[in-house]
Structure formats: structure tokens, C-alpha cells
Amino acid sequence: MKKTTDVAVVGGGLGGLAAAAMLARGGRRVTLFEKSRHLGGRAHTTEVEGYHFNLGPHALYLGGAAARVLGRLGVPVRGRSPRGEGGFALRRGRLHALPAGAVSLLMTDLLGAAGKLELGRVLTGLRRVDAATLEGMSLREWLDAHVSRAEVREVVAAFFRVSTYCADADALAADAAVAQLQMATRQGVLYVDGGWSELVGALAATARAAGVEVVTSARVELVERDVGASLPRARGLRLADGTEYEAGAVVVAGAPRDVASLLPGDEVLAGWAAEAEPVKAASLEVGLSRLPRPRALLALGVDRPWYASVHSAWARLAPEGGAMVHVAKYLGGGDAEASESELEGVLDMLQPGWREHVVTRRFLPGLTVMNALPAKKKGLAGRPGPVVEHVRGLYVVGDWVGPEGMLADASLASAETVARLLRGEAGARAA
């Protein structure tokens, strides 16, 4: 006999868990399936000898949808926001003070007087730009139109890179990039104590407390459809072990290719998967017994797409006296790969002598940061979902879905929309 549920959620990352928790709070019977043994997806944290490694550097945008949804669900978010001190711009192998505010802009030798004036003007002007008017424009086109000096353009592009994670300014939609940088500078970010698994754990506890049945090590292999009606309807799913569930609605909170593979033969979904241009990064994570240069906390590549940051300076991620350092290279835009030695070289510049203090380390050459960048032609408004118009009862959630935000913000914004729509539907049926 088939098992039944009101809503079947595929995927136990932040997006799936948040959607499930909100739906269950709204009175729906929810079953969530995660193929892995553990929940969290890309928000997973690994602990080694007291060092907490996120899957690459993770910052929660305090003005974004993820913070909003977690807040509404009562999920505690503990950590600290990085302040401006200890930041460097890295250009042609040299460190310069990072022009992150008025004082550092005056002091830095990264730019000459005219460049400083232009950078100040561009960053101030950026706050007033209406991002929604930039539809159809790439970030590169916006930079070319608004920043005249090449050396200033490099610096502004680096600020966009660190807040969007995208190195491909030609492909990235300007509306998404500008909105993201505006939010990042206005409200700032937070590094989470203990890593993002703390958010996952609290979210999973919230979901279970609301009544969600969470099934791990359960790979969904098919979304079942009724194809008799004018529009097909999702009516349940089948797990890899053969178990079948009947459901009133199915929410897939995975990558575009996961969605396409669950509904084979669906050309629209196959098209979404084919069009998605993933945003990738290489990541070197290092747990040190101490920092050789305790005041050097951040390096941002200006001529190269590099990032190095001591997250443990702000959040509890390392044992007392130790340091957790993230080094990353934003891939794309002509830089399709990174070697471990390249990233080691970045850390050599920020923390010379770090190798003598290594307790634990990990190199991951090609992480998927975002399943799809908001593309130039379509912008945020042109992203797919969360409603899958041509399959009734099917919804998608993820960092490639819907008109709001990037990264985890897009996942949780789309989760919120799906929960609102499905709760509304239940209310309408009950009335």
C-alpha cells in the first residue's frame, strides 16, 4: 500500500527544511526526503579537532531572505559580523589597505587621488541606484557605463565579486548584482558560531517539532504524474528502494538537474537544467594553532578573483588561540580552475609562515556555490519557479529559483513563497 502525505519535500538542505517547517506550522502533513545520511546539503559543517569547516566561506546576509525566514521561524542565529579592520586588497602580489570605508579610502595606496575620488563617488552613488531598472544589463555593462578608470573598475568589481560570489561579470545580471551589493553594504553579514550546521540543526528541530516527518538516506527517483488531464499533475513520488508516497503536492528543493531527472521527458524542466550556469569556487580551509599575523584578517584579490578571510576572528569556529581561515577562488569569467598551490600562495601573502601552524586543512577544487547565476538577459525576475506552471502541484525551491535574492537568500525566499502558496491553497479548500 502507498503511504500518503499532504506535501512531499525532496531535499533536506536549508531550502527544503525551511519549506517543510513553514508548511507544517500551517497545518499541512509534510514528509521530507533527503538522499544523504545527514541533513544540510551545502550548509553542512565538518568538525575536525575543534575546527568547524563550512563547505567554503559562508556568510549570512543580515538584510536577506535567509535571515528573515530563520527569524520568523524562531531559529536562533548566533555569531558576529566582521568589522572593517584588518582588511587588505591584493593586487599584483602586494597587499594594500582595503578601501572599505572613508578612513581606509583616504589612507590606502591602492589608488591615486583621482582614483580615490572616483571610487568614493561610485560607491556613494551605488546606494541610490534602483536595481530593478537594470533589467537586461550585465554587470560588465554597468561597470563600463559607471566607472571610467580601469583601476577603479577592478576594485568595484572585487566588491561585487565578494558579495555575489560570481566572477563572470559578462554573464551576471546587473539588477541582481547591484541589489546584492547594496544589501551587503547596508546591513552587513554574519559569520555563524559553530558553522552553518548550527542553522541546519536548529531548522531541522523546528521542522520536527512542527510535525515534519524527516526521512534521511532516502533518494527520491521519480515524481509520479497524472497525465490524463489537460495539465499533468504531480501526485506523489517513488524512492529508490521502491517505496511510493501519494501526495497532494511535491516540492523539489534541489538543483535544476535534480528536478529534471525526477520528471524524465519534461522538456521545460530539461531546458531549465540546460540553461543554468552554475557558480563555482575552489576552497582551501585551514585550521591553525595560531595566526602568524593576528591583525591581518582579510585579503580581497583585485586583479585576481581571490578571497582569504579569518572567519574565526568573528565567530566561534576554532579552539581557544587557534584560527579558522578560508581561502577561495571565484571560478568563472575565464578562470575555470584553481590548484591548491595557487590558494596556498594567497595565504602566504596574508599570513606568511602559516604552514608551521597547520592543525588540519582541506582543499575542495570545484564547489557549486549557486546552482545558477541570475543571467544577464533574464535578471532576477526571469528565474524559474517556484510554481511549476505546466505541472500542477509541483513546486521548486533553491538558489536558482524565483525573483528574490541570491545564494541561500534565494533558497529561503522561494521556500517561503511555496509555503505561503500551499497554505493558501489548503485554506481555500477548507473554506
Q: Which residues bind ligand FAD (CB under 6 A)?
A: 10-16, 33-36, 41-43, 55-59, 61, 66, 219-220, 253-254, 258, 281, 283, 367-369, 398-399, 407-409, 411
Nearest CB to ligand FAD, comparing residues 91 and 191: 191
Q: How far is the CB of 49 from ligand FAD (least distance, A)?
A: 21
Query: What φ, ψ does residue 361 adopt, rounded to 5°?
Result: -155, 160
Nearest CB to ligand FAD, comparing residues 111 and 279: 279
Q: How far is the CB of 379 from ligand FAD (least distance, A)?
A: 19
Nearest CB to ligand FAD, comparing residues 61 and 306: 61
If DSSP states are collapsed to H, E and C, what string results for the chain?
CCEEEEEEEECCEHHHHHHHHHHHHCCCCEEEECCCCCCEHHHCEEEECCEEEECCCCCEECCCHHHHHHHHHCCCCCEECCCCCCEEEEECCEEEECCCCHHHHHHCCCCCHHHHHHHHHHHHHHCCCCHHHHCCCEHHHHHHHHCCCHHHHHHHHHHHHHHHCCCCCCCEEHHHHHHHHHHHHHHCEEEECCCCHHHHHHHHHHHHHCCCEEECCCCEEEEEEECCCCCCEEEEEEECCCCEEEEEEEEECCCHHHHHHHCCCCHHHHHHHHHCCCEEEEEEEEEECCCCCCCCCEEEECCCCEEEEEHHHCCCCCCCCCEEEEEEEECECCECCCCHHHHHHHHHHHCCCHHHHEEEEEEEEEEEEECCCCECCCCHHHCCCCECCCCECEEECCCCCCCCCCHHHHHHHHHHHHHHHHHHHHHHHHC
> With contact defined as beta carbons under 8 Å apart, do 101 and 86 qualify?
no
Nearest CB to ligand FAD, comparing residues 42 and 383: 42
Separation CA 2–CA 338 (nearest Å):
48
Q: How far is the CB of 182 from ligand FAD (least distance, A)?
A: 16
Q: How far is the CB of 277 from ligand FAD (least distance, A)?
A: 15
Q: How far is the CB of 1 from ligand FAD (least distance, A)?
A: 22
Q: How far is the CB of 410 from ligand FAD (least distance, A)?
A: 7
Cβ burial of 190 (10 Å; 0-12, 13-18, 19+) is buried
Nearest CB to ligand FAD, comparing residues 71 and 93: 71
Q: How far is the CB of 394 from ligand FAD (least distance, A)?
A: 14
Nearest CB to ligand FAD, comparing residues 141 and 335: 335
Q: How far is the CB of 28 from ligand FAD (least distance, A)?
A: 19
Nearest CB to ligand FAD, comparing residues 108 and 411: 411
Q: How far is the CB of 179 from ligand FAD (least distance, A)?
A: 14
Separation CA 281–CA 137 (nearest Å):
24
Q: How far is the CB of 35 from ligand FAD (least distance, A)?
A: 4
CA 214 distance to own-chain centroid: 23
Nearest CB to ligand FAD, comparing residues 219 and 290: 219
Q: How far is the CB of 430 from ligand FAD (least distance, A)?
A: 29
Nearest CB to ligand FAD, comparing residues 122 and 237: 237
The answer to whether the Cα torsion of 46, 49, 50, 53 is positive or negative is: negative
Nearest CB to ligand FAD, comparing residues 91 and 280: 280
Nearest CB to ligand FAD, comparing residues 115 and 405: 405
